[in-house]
Structure 1
């Protein structure tokens, strides 16, 4: 089921908008001129053999160890899903798009606690060119995600977590 149809059937307020095709949530933020912290990205993970959908700001990455801890699992029990697994589960989505509604795919959803600060949430649908804007509280009431603190900032341009600053030693 397409996200737009689902939201209409649930009678919640949302807006759709067209944008240049975006291959990532970060690029969606740039195309739509929206701060990355207001754009949700989704990452499929596997925890003890079960798939979970994580939802976090586009400016962050999933810290698998922290997610595992939040789920009561050992760090090695949570891994990123493979591209083949993503394609199999999200077969009705264009490559690179995963909507933040695990419920539509019979998946449990875990949302990072930082998303509640956004107020309005922006995310991609099943396509690379259609975005949705809705209130976070409406998203939360529909999806009922588990909340956890698992997102870590991405440093600009590298896709990696922000490095710690090194101090020079006198000497």
Structure 2
């Protein structure tokens, strides 16, 4: 079940959304296969730790982070994904279900420009059995993310 905090946030911002129910899935690849949708239509949300703090990244599930590009964009020396335990402390949500709403967790959001080709995206929302479909333009209006090209094709 999607936490009330997330749905209230969307309603407060007058964002139209569709709750997408599905079997329990833990990865973007499984979500894509279950929903029979393309990987690039799923917005993957990751939290990274740097020497300047934590950041929330939103990128197409079909791509991977290019850490050298990201270091330049963020102007940092050290960078890496956070651990599951740290994730539970920061966002109080299970790994693999982090929504792209950094404002809820006081995290700056960075959006990979390659996601902008998609009008509606499927995002995780605190549940392994439900996701949300929202307009990317609504996500951008709500979160006002920094935008950059910090991904590459998956190998």
Shared fold (TM-score, shorter chain, > 0.5): yes
Alignment of 1:67-146 (within 5 A): 67-74=70-77, 77-91=78-92, 93-146=93-146
Q: Rg larger in 1 or in 2?
A: 1
Output the aligned Cα RMSD.
Answer: 1.3
Q: 2: distance between equivalents of 1:122 and 1:59?
A: 13
Deviation at 1:72, TM superposition (A): 2.3
Deviation at 1:2, TM superposition (A): 2.8
Report the count of equivalent residues: 152
- Which structure has the higher relative contact order (CA within 8 Å, separation 6+)? 2
- Is contact 1:2–1:125 with CA below 8 Å preserved after alignment? no
For 1:2, what is the secondary structure of its paired residue?
helix
Instruction: Check 1:71–1:49 CA distance in 2 against 1; reply closer, same or farther (3 A cut).
Output: closer
| 1:25/1:123 contact within 8 Å kept | no
**Residue equivalent to 2:20:** 17
> What residue number does 1:167 align with?
none
Kindly state the Cα deviation for residue 142 of structure 1 after the two structures are TM-superposed.
Answer: 0.3
Q: 1:96 Cα deviation (Å)?
A: 2.5
Instruction: Give a deviation string over 1:85-134, Cα, whole Å, max 9, x none.
Output: 1121121x234311111110000010100111011111110111111111
Which whole-Å CA distance do the structure 2 matches of 1:5 and 1:18 have between them? 18
Whole-angstrom CA distance in 1 between matches of 2:5 and 2:27: 19
| Unaligned runs of at least 5 residues, structure 1 | 155-161, 163-171
Unaligned stretches of 5+ residues in structure 2: none
1:5 pairs, out of 3, 8, 21, with 8
Q: How far apart, CA to CA, are the structure 2 residues paired with 1:67 and 1:8?
A: 32
Give, in whole Å, the separation in 2 of the partners of 1:122 and 1:49: 29
